[in-house]
């Protein structure tokens, strides 16, 4: 499959957010409709205005609340973690061999996180990517330490020492990666 074909096939797909939103809305709407039809049949003769104000409006409000709660729950417990895992896998493919820091109380999501971290660990053990992955890890550490220094009110000389040490480590790992690349 060519890159253009792959991009076209991906554009035909719906996002998980859209699918969850649509499916939960349809489920709630079907439940509301079924209940309303049952109430209408069970009530016998009823005034349309009274039915609308005393039944349809409360059912609509309850349905909306249920749908919002369901949508929020599915978004928080499934969609967002899957998006974070997907983003991490993208970075992993680019060579950033950092572990995935995602805590979830959903068993299947936690299992995927463990699998991704196991894969990351195995990739780090591969000899040819060792220097490159360490360099990327050094960059991540360096970025965090630089952010801490930037966010602090006063920049002290002592706070720059760890950054310089990380720069030295990064330089060594980059040189090793370049040397390894030249040998191949």
Taking the CA of residue 165 as centre, how many other CA atoms within 13 Å lie in the half-sphere pointing to its CB?
A: 7
Tokens at 179, concatenated: 């040397």
∠ CA 114-115-119 to the nearest 5 degrees? 115
- SS3 for 12? coil
pLDDT above 80 (res 5): no
Q: What is the predicted pLDDT for the residue at 4?
A: 52
For residue 81, the tally of other CB atoms under 10 A from its CB is 20
138 and 166 Cβ atoms separated by less than 8 Å: yes
Helical H runs in 47-156?
A: 48-51, 57-74, 80-93, 107-125, 130-151
Tokens at 182, concatenated: 């030249």
Residue 9: pLDDT band (50, 70, 90) is: low
Residue 129: pLDDT band (50, 70, 90) is: low
Q: Would you kindly state where each structural domain of the chain is located, as residue ranges? A: 14-98, 127-184
Q: What is the predicted pLDDT for the residue at 168?
A: 76
Q: How far apart are CA 141 and CA 170, in angstroms?
A: 10
16-57 pLDDT tens trace? 888 888 988 999 999 999 998 888 888 877 788 888 888 889
Average pLDDT over residues 149-170: 70
Residue 98: pLDDT band (50, 70, 90) is: confident
Q: What is the predicted pLDDT for the residue at 128?
A: 57
Q: How far apart are CA 98 and CA 95, in angstroms?
A: 9
């Amino acid at each position: 499959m060519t890159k253009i074909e792959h991009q076209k096939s991906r554009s035909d797909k719906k996002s998980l957010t859209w699918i969850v939103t649509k499916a939960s809305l349809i489920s709630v709407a079907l439940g509301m409709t079924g209940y309303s039809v049952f109430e209408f049949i069970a009530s016998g003769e009823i005034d349309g205005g009274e039915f609308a104000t005393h039944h349809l409006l409360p059912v609509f409000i309850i349905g909306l609340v249920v749908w919002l709660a369901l949508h929020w729950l599915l978004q928080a417990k499934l969609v967002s973690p899957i998006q974070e895992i997907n983003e991490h896998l993208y970075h992993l493919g680019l060579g950033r061999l950092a572990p995935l820091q995602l805590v979830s109380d959903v068993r299947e999501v936690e299992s995927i996180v463990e699998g991704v971290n196991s894969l990351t660990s195995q990739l780090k053990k591969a000899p040819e990517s060792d220097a490159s992955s360490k360099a990327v890890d050094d960059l991540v550490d360096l970025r965090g330490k630089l952010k801490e220094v930037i966010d602090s009110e006063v920049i002290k000389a002592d706070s720059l020492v760890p950054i310089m040490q990380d720069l030295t480590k990064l330089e060594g790992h980059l040189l090793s990666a370049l040397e390894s690349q030249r040998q191949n």
